[in-house]
Amino acid sequence: MPKPKLRVHGPRPGPRSPTLRGSETTSPRVPIRAGRPLPGSWLWLTRPGAEGDLGSELRLALGVAAKVTEIGPGLLRSELAPTFEDGTLDATFARHGVRVRNKTTLDARKVAAQVTALAKAGPIGFDVIVPDSDEGNRLAPLAVQLDEQVRELLSAAGVEPVPRDRAREHGARLIDVIVTSSEEALVGELDAQLALTLHPQGRARMRVAGDRPSRAARKVEEALDWLGLGPGAGEVCVDLGAAPGGWSWSLLERRARVIAVDPAELRADVANHPRMKHFKESAFQFAPAETVDWLFCDMAWRPREAAQMLAKWARRGWARMLVANLKLPMKTKADMVRELREILHGGGWNRLRTRQLYHDRDEITVTAHR
């Protein structure tokens, strides 16, 4: 049975360019307007080894007022917190961030009393967490025990935290108790609407079927979870650098139609899917026949060149939504992230966000709208 034709909609972007030169390959660097820094003392959780990147990012955004201090593996503290223009937290290399309320012991009754007092102001989400590090993981049994004890005491006091994944729809604040040693913890809070993530500790462990073509499927699933939006049935997605098909496989599972672009072969079951069309050519030379709904990209390529290519898609109106990974093999990453964001914004991508997600390695995930 012949495959159905993949149709895309919208205005035709124009003829394909076999090579791209001059202004066709470059976008101006346009800074994203920052929001007003949030006051207070802030605690940031990050992946082990990324403390320097997060510290550099906070200093770059906030200047000397940041007063960044590394207080342990995967754990930093700062004065002020950077935000986007809409007021949400802006920290690419942070897993999670909360405003510090106070220090406490691991006495469940004391912790419960503090959380109960905070709950008087409105609905809350609640968790006891640890930093994502070897030291933090050794404290995990204490955190689990404290979490169970505090929840029992909260229930007895008539306080019922809302499920964390529904905290935004309830207009809740996140109350997190971060265990920093076998004797002490820090109590933090944050409006869920402003949070980097609703996953405890920022650990968004994605579960995908065992027959996926590669581990990359977890990356795109986490990216869409973070975005809070994904392709619908029948929507057209371009997947640049698709081989062996991990991202395409996830998109097909969502019943989207996929245009995969990669000179290499896809796994046979992905390549032969009735909603798949594979172009064996360079992502830098490919142009869609018409505007598509989504642009996806996960290419092992130099980040500036990849960003300029993605900026071209916005400038020419070829896609409405962007989800991409940009590789960051260099030692100092914060300045590069700012440059890449400015390139993408200069091409016309808006509502642009960058994060180093749980399943990312030496890379960041970018999402944007046009």
Average pLDDT, rounded, for the chain:
91
By percentage, how much of the chain surpasses pLDDT 90? Answer: 86
| pLDDT value of residue 355 | 97
Exposure string of 205-235, with b = 16+ CB inside 10 Å and e = fewer, is: ebebeeebbeebbbbbbbbbbbbeebbeeeb
Amino acid (1-letter code) at residue 275 = R
**Do the domain assignments include residue 170?**
yes
CATH number of the domain to which 364 belongs? 3.40.50.150
218 within 8 A of 208, measured Cβ to Cβ: yes
Q: Which two tokens stand for residue 360?
A: 């990312």
Q: Are residues 104 and 169 in the same domain?
A: yes
**Average pLDDT, stretch 30-46?**
96
Residue 368 has pLDDT above 50, yes or no: yes
pLDDT one-digit tens code per residue, 79-118: 999 999 999 999 999 999 999 999 999 999 999 999 999 9
Q: How confident is the model at residue 15 (pLDDT cuts 50, 70, 90)?
A: very low
Average of pLDDT values for 330-339? 94
Q: Which of 283, 333, 331, 330 is nearest to 308 (CA)?
A: 283
Q: What local confidence, expressed as pLDDT, does residue 13 receive?
A: 42
Of 202, 231, 256, the last residue of a domain is 202
> Residues 194, 273: one domain?
no
- Residue 66 is given by DSSP the state G
Tell me whether residue 67 is in a domain: yes
Per-residue pLDDT band at 209 (split at 50, 70, 90): low
pLDDT at position 210: 59
- The beta strands (E) that lie in 30-95 are given as 38-45, 69-72, 75-81
Whether residue 11 is predicted with pLDDT greater than 70 in this model: the reply is no
Residue 24: pLDDT band (50, 70, 90) is low
Tell me if 92 is assigned to some domain: yes
Residue 14: the pLDDT is 40
322: in domain: yes
pLDDT by residue (tens digit) across 161-195?
999 999 999 999 999 999 999 999 999 999 999 99
Q: For residue range 130-146, list pLDDT tens digits in order.
A: 998 999 999 999 999 99
Task: Say how many residues make up the chain.
Answer: 370
273 and 321 fall within a common domain = yes
Q: Please report, for the domain that includes residue 125, its CATH number.
A: 3.30.2130
Q: Domain range spanning residue 333?
A: 22-30+214-369
Place of tokens 């709208």: 369
Q: Is 87 part of any domain?
A: yes
Do 107 and 131 share a structural domain?
yes
Note the pLDDT of residue 204. Answer: 80
Both structure tokens of 268: 């046979």
Asked if residue 8 is part of any domain, the answer here is no
Looking at per-residue pLDDT, the higher value among 232 and 18 belongs to: 232
pLDDT of residue 9: 41
Number of structural domains the chain divides into: 2
Q: 51 with 76, same domain?
A: yes
Query: In terms of domains, do 132 and 191 share one?
Result: yes
Q: What percent of the chain has pLDDT over 70?
A: 91
Domain closes at, from 167, 202, 237: 202
The residue type of 44 is W
Is residue 207 situated within a structural domain? no
Using CA atoms, how far apart are residues 304 and 327, in angstroms rounded to an integer?
Answer: 10
Identify whether residues 191 and 234 lie together within a single domain.
no
Task: Decide if 103 is catalytic.
Answer: no
So what's the pLDDT on residue 213? 54
End position of a domain, from candidates 202, 228, 249: 202
Do 292 and 221 belong together in one domain? yes
Which pLDDT belongs to residue 208? 65
**pLDDT greater than 50 at residue 3:** no
Q: Are 226 and 275 found together in one domain?
A: yes
The span from the CA of 349 to the CA of 368, in Å, is: 6
Kindly state whether residue 184 falls inside one of the protein's structural domains.
yes
What would the mean pLDDT of 358-369 be, rounded to a whole number? Answer: 95
User: What pLDDT, in 10s, does the model give residues 315-327?
Assistant: 999 999 999 999 9
Query: CA–CA separation, 154 vs 150, rounded Å?
Result: 6
pLDDT tens sequence across 40-55: 999 999 999 999 999 9
**58-78 pLDDT tens trace:** 999 999 999 999 999 999 999
Is 109 in the same domain as 184?
yes
- 192 and 122 inside one domain: yes
Q: Is the pLDDT of residue 10 over 80?
A: no
- According to the model, what pLDDT value does residue 206 have? 65
| Same domain (yes/no): 42, 26 | no
261-292, pLDDT tens digit by residue?
999 999 999 999 999 999 999 999 999 999 99
What pLDDT was estimated at residue 189? 97
pLDDT of residue 282: 96
> Which of the following is catalytic: 3, 110, 120, 327?
327
The pLDDT value given to residue 330 = 85
State the Cα–Cα distance between residues 270 and 48, nearest whole angstrom. Answer: 35
Note whether 310 and 284 are within 8 A (CB).
Answer: no
